[in-house]
Amino acid sequence: MHDRWGFNTKAIHGAGGTHALKAVSPPIYETTTFRYDTVEEGAALGVDRGEGYYYTRWGNPTTAALEERVALLEGGEMAIATGSGMGAISTVILGLLRTGDHLVAPRATYQAAHELFAQILPRYGIEATLIDTVDVEAYEAALRPQTRILYIETPNNPLLDITDIAGVVRLAHGHGALAVADNTFASPYNQNPLVLGADVVVHSATKYLGGHADVTAGIMVGRRDLLLALRPHFRIHGPVLDPFAAWLVLRGIKTLGLRMERHNANALTLARALAAHPKVERVHYPGLPEHPGHRIAHRQMRGFGGMLSVEVTGGIAAGARVVEALRTALLAVSLGSVETLVTHPASTTSVGIPAADRARAGIREGLIRVSVGIEDVEDLVDDFTHALQAA
Ligand code: PLP
């Protein structure tokens, strides 16, 4: 029956069924270990045979409920939840690649993923080509016989560039490689890369899935054979999600559809208002028809998401003045929560990158990244309009 359910019904009810004692809210199994009655039973559980649980780093019923829910919403066969988004990304990348392999990824990905590709992988004899544009042609030009993963992040950070997921998937599969997508910015409500053919999707569940800036979590979801191959790596690297944190993400997911509708609507309204402001040079939002990725985003996304970035006139000092003048939006890293969060990359998150490299990555000095929350949109428009006077 759940196959025919809409997104919100699936987000709330999962695949149906009841919890222990017919509890409406799932129980939190805050335990590290599980008793078994015979040594044979324990030995079987340790190698994933038989019914039941063994040790929370192996698996936990609360975490399993979250994994099933995300697999259902993303259209995946299996999922493994992790203690952070980077826990999921590191496990997928290090678990699927081996010495001699090659990966292609955009230069502009989430910073820690970028560091994994550029600094950690070479230490294991794995090469990464980081491409400056995110179109299929750029991926194709970077292919090598050893290419094993094409890594996608769309919309990406901080310019909201859009990649044609189905196009990169076709390229990857034609080359005998895998397509791995970070779907954090879009959320499973707005976009399902697995349905477009991707092999594995990763999320920072810290963002929209949790949704309230109160839990750090991650998840990988996709083909069962790949997830089963990743499971031993996950257990050895050990980025385990605490069961209570799993429960918080599961609770957040119940309102994901509602929240995303509001994030999508607020971001579009704010993007339009900012685009019309005299102190604004440019707004990057895939929902605006002038955004270069608008057509592809329209095809592959259900909504354009809650993330946008805006270039204010006056360079680095003006950007800093504007973010400090905001009264409703909060100056804080991270994204995807109910509060509007703002960062100014040139003076904070990307301050360690030389100005020339920032420019190469398209991070202009006056660029402000906004994770548009679900507040009343008039208050957000007022806040930004007022703050822009400080530019
Ligand atoms: N992927 C994206 C797109 C992100 O923005 C982030 C964090 O900001 C991550 C992954 C990493 O997630 P976490 O902080 O949960 O490790």
- For ligand 1, mutation pick of 86, 89, 154, 242 (most atoms within 8 Å of CB): 86
Cα(194) to ligand 1 centroid in Å equals: 19
pLDDT, residue 33, reads: 98
Cα(36) to ligand 1 centroid in Å equals: 37
Q: What is the mean pLDDT of residues 24-50?
A: 96
Q: Which of 97, 115, 88 is nearest to 234 (CA)?
A: 88
Mean pLDDT, the chain, whole residue set: 95
Q: Atom 12 in ligand 1: which residue has the minimum CA distance?
A: 85
Q: How many CA atoms lie within 13 A of 204 on its CB side?
A: 19
Q: What is the pTM of this model?
A: 0.97
What are the angstrom distances between the C-alpha of 258 and each of 54, 263, 270? 36, 9, 18
What whole-number percentage of the chain has pLDDT above 90?
A: 90
Write phi, then psi, for 166 (nearest 5 degrees): -60, -35
Write phi, then psi, for 179 (nearest 5 degrees): -105, 120
Q: Give per-residue pLDDT as tens, 188-214.
A: 999 999 999 999 999 999 999 999 999
**pLDDT band with cut points at 50, 70 and 90 for residue 35:** very high
What are the angstrom distances between the C-alpha of 382 and each of 185, 278, 388? 25, 15, 10
* Residues sharing a CB contact under 8 Å with residue 199, sequence separation 6 or more, in sequence order: 172, 178, 179, 180, 222, 223, 226
Nearest ligand 1 atom to the CA of 206 is 15
8 Å CB contact between 168 and 139: yes
* 58 has a pLDDT exceeding 80: yes
Which residue matches tokens 């109910």?
Answer: 338
| Residues lining ligand 1, Cβ inside 6 A | 84-86, 110, 153, 157, 182, 184-185, 204, 206, 216, 218, 334
Q: How many CA atoms lie within 13 A of 326 on its CB side?
A: 22
What are the angstrom distances between the C-alpha of 359 and each of 158, 293, 356? 12, 20, 5
Q: Give per-residue pLDDT as tens, 101-131.
A: 999 999 989 989 999 999 999 999 999 999 9
* 4 has a pLDDT exceeding 70: yes
Q: What is the mean pLDDT of residues 273-296?
A: 97
Question: How far is residue 36's CA from residue 44's CA, in Å, rounded to a whole number?
Answer: 10
Cα(307) to ligand 1 centroid in Å equals: 14
Tokens found for residue 22: 């017919």
- For ligand 1, mutation pick of 82, 182, 204, 343 (most atoms within 8 Å of CB): 204
Question: How far is residue 114's CA from residue 158's CA, in Å, rounded to a whole number?
Answer: 13
Question: How far is residue 74's CA from residue 68's CA, in Å, rounded to a whole number?
Answer: 10
Q: In 273-299, which positions are buried (b, 16+ CB within 10 angstroms) versus exposed (e)?
A: bbeebebbebbbbbbbeebebbebbee
pLDDT, residue 102, reads: 98
Q: Atom 2 in ligand 1: which residue has the minimum CA distance?
A: 110
Q: What is the mean pLDDT of residues 136-145?
A: 98
* 352 has a pLDDT exceeding 70: no
Nearest ligand 1 atom to the CA of 334 is 8
Nearest ligand 1 atom to the CA of 218 is 15
Q: Are strands 341-343 and 367-371 parallel, antiparallel or unpaired?
A: antiparallel
Q: Give per-residue pLDDT as tens, 313-346.
A: 999 999 999 999 999 999 999 999 999 999 998 8
Tokens found for residue 117: 């590709």
Beta bridge partners of 391: none
Domains for the chain: give ranges and CATH numbers. 2-253 (3.40.640.10), 257-390 (3.90.1150.10)
Nearest ligand 1 atom to the CA of 205 is 15
Q: Atom 11 in ligand 1: which residue has the minimum CA distance?
A: 85
- Strand residue runs (E) in 137-240: 147-153, 178-182, 200-204, 218-222
Other beta carbons within 10 angstroms of residue 316's beta carbon come to: 18
Catalytic residue positions?
A: 57, 110, 182, 207
pLDDT, residue 2, reads: 73
8 Å CB contact between 384 and 329: yes
Q: Atom 14 in ligand 1: which residue has the minimum CA distance?
A: 85
8 Å CB contact between 148 and 101: yes
Cα(153) to ligand 1 centroid in Å equals: 11
What whole-number percentage of the chain has pLDDT above 70?
A: 99
Cα(87) to ligand 1 centroid in Å equals: 10
Q: Give per-residue pLDDT as tens, 367-383.
A: 999 999 999 999 999 99
Cα(184) to ligand 1 centroid in Å equals: 7
